[in-house]
Amino acid sequence: MAVRTFNTAALLLTIAAPALLCQPRDAAAQQVAGAPANSAASPYPFAEIVDLVTGSPIVLDATITSTVRIKGAEAANVPPNTVRYYVEADVTALIRGPGAIPPRIGYVLDAPLGPNGRQPKYRKARVLLFARPVPGSATQLQLIGPEAQRGWTAELDALTRRITAEVLAPDAPPIVTGVGNAFHVPGSLPGEGETQIFLTTRDRRPVSLSILRRPGEQPRWAVALSEIVDDAAGPPQRDTLLWYRLACALPPALPARATQALEPDNAAVAQEDYRFVLEQLGPCRRTAPAG
């Protein structure tokens, strides 16, 4: 029996490269739309799947054809209660990628041992893979993290495709990097006023939050993605990319510099309005560390 040699540091393994390339099945692979999932019912935290999609140049639906355990020096850094495999899989669909990928790919997987130290078995398992290419080896991929192989389900597939479509859309909301300036203007009646909070973004596109208070009413807030605040706009729907950009990026409180130009009373209201927005957004829930 031939002995395979694995270079797990570079993920460059010698396997026969199939002659054909797998293209995305159709444009829908990158432009699938759908209604947001019900986060209360879904077993997949939305933020966690967005982390995987945004961190992965390549997202695949694939079926595992073989696994070989890696031992010795090439598994010296494997965490406790974990086994390292070299995995080969046949690509079913390219959900996100540069345009083409071989129909059979290989990658290294660190998998936790099961009860009583049993090695997990993956042969014939259908999986979703979140990965990056290995330079110089078209048939090899590198998973972006320990949670980057997920068992395939119709729900997870649909959620992954919807998130991918939102991320790749020309009008995708910008990546929020922090908070700029905040302003509060009191109204003519006690308890009336409006707060505007300007956010900073990676590509310098404008994003702002507006919070309107009227006496005897619940505060109303909205997010604007342009220089003009639309009075008809509202908060983002939960479990959308815009919700993620806000809920998973905003700091827990307004930085002091954001309100340094305001009178103390107005600065206090701006802080209260910012806390109201965070409460309305809700937590950025994950069960695995962000990649």
Provide DSSP, 183-216.
EEEE-SSTT-EEEEEEEEETT---EEEEEEE-TT
pLDDT at 191: 86
Q: Which residue has the higher pLDDT, 51 or 44?
A: 51
pLDDT at 108: 97
* CATH architecture, domain defined by 41-168: Beta Barrel (2.40)
Instruction: Note whether 246 and 236 are within 8 A (CB).
Output: yes
What would you report as the CA-atom Rg of the chain, rounded to the nearest whole angstrom?
A: 24
Q: Where does the pLDDT of residue 231 fall: very low under 50, low under 70, confident under 90, or very high at 90 and above?
A: low
Instruction: Note whether 82 and 113 are within 8 A (CB).
Output: yes
Task: Tell me the average pLDDT of the chain.
Answer: 85
Domain ranges, ordered by start, for the chain: 41-168, 176-281
Instruction: Note whether 111 and 79 are within 8 A (CB).
Output: no
Q: Which residue has the higher pLDDT, 277 or 123?
A: 277
Q: Where does the pLDDT of residue 83 fall: very low under 50, low under 70, confident under 90, or very high at 90 and above?
A: very high
pLDDT at 289: 58
Is pLDDT at 290 greater than 60 in this prediction? no
Instruction: Note whether 206 and 250 are within 8 A (CB).
Output: no
**Tens of pLDDT along 91-116?**
999 999 988 899 999 999 999 998 88
Q: If you average pLDDT over residues 132-155, what whole number do you get?
A: 95
* Cα gap 180→71, rounded to integer Å: 51
**Tens of pLDDT along 165-202?**
999 999 999 999 999 999 999 998 988 999 999 999 99
CA-to-CA dists, residue 16 to 93, 106, 138, 238, angstroms: 20, 11, 11, 45
Instruction: Note whether 124 and 110 are within 8 A (CB).
Output: no
85, two tokens: 């495999």
Is pLDDT at 264 greater than 60 in this prediction? yes
- Report percent pLDDT > 90 for the chain: 71
Give the total residue count for the chain: 291
pLDDT at 226: 87
Is pLDDT at 125 greater than 80 in this prediction? yes
Instruction: Note whether 57 and 89 are within 8 A (CB).
Output: no
Positive or negative, the Cα torsion across 155, 157, 159, 165?
negative
Instruction: Note whether 240 and 38 are within 8 A (CB).
Output: no
Q: If you average pLDDT over residues 282-289, what whole number do you get?
A: 83
| Pick from 86-95, 198-207, 221-230: least confident | 221-230
Instruction: Note whether 130 and 53 are within 8 A (CB).
Output: yes
pLDDT at 36: 42
- Report percent pLDDT > 70 for the chain: 83
Is pLDDT at 24 greater than 50 in this prediction? no
* Cα gap 157→151, rounded to integer Å: 10
pLDDT at 183: 96
Q: Where does the pLDDT of residue 117 fall: very low under 50, low under 70, confident under 90, or very high at 90 and above?
A: confident
Is pLDDT at 33 greater than 50 in this prediction? no
Q: Which residue has the higher pLDDT, 128 or 15?
A: 128
